[in-house]
Amino acid sequence: MTYEYNCKKCKTTWEEGWPMDKRDTPTEIPCPHCNAEGSVTRLISPTKMSYQGRHGVQKLAGDGWNDVLKKIKTNAGPKSTIETR
Ligand SMILES: [Zn+2]
């Protein structure tokens, strides 16, 4: 997984690949750009995640599901979440 990090001190934003259980490691070590401690935060990109989630549902259910999905979207709006179970 690739995560985005931001340093409050030098205002640098960068991406790093980490396993999910180690994703907060860069926030616990000094900034790789300016060496400041405790100034790194992990950024959250909810837009990217929901986009991937929608693709996952389509892949899981197959092509025939696309028409049903379209109807659900029309009825419930783009902000609704679709249960896979
Ligand atoms: Zn920094």
pLDDT at 40: 97
Report if residue 49 sits inside a domain: no
pLDDT at 77: 63
Report if residue 81 sits inside a domain: yes
pTM of this prediction?
0.53
pLDDT band at 44 (very low <50, low <70, confident <90, very high): confident
pLDDT at 2: 92
Burial 16-38 (b: 16+ CB within 10 A, else e): eeeeeeebeebbeeebebeeeee
Report if residue 19 sits inside a domain: yes
Domain that holds residue 28: 2-42
pLDDT at 63: 67
Report if residue 79 sits inside a domain: yes
Residue ranges near ligand 1 (ion) with Cβ within 5 Å = 7, 9-10, 31, 33-34
Mean pLDDT over residues 66-82, rounded?
71
User: Per the structure, how many domains does the chain have?
Assistant: 2
Tell me how far the alpha carbon of residue 10 lies from the centroid of ligand 1, in angstroms: 4
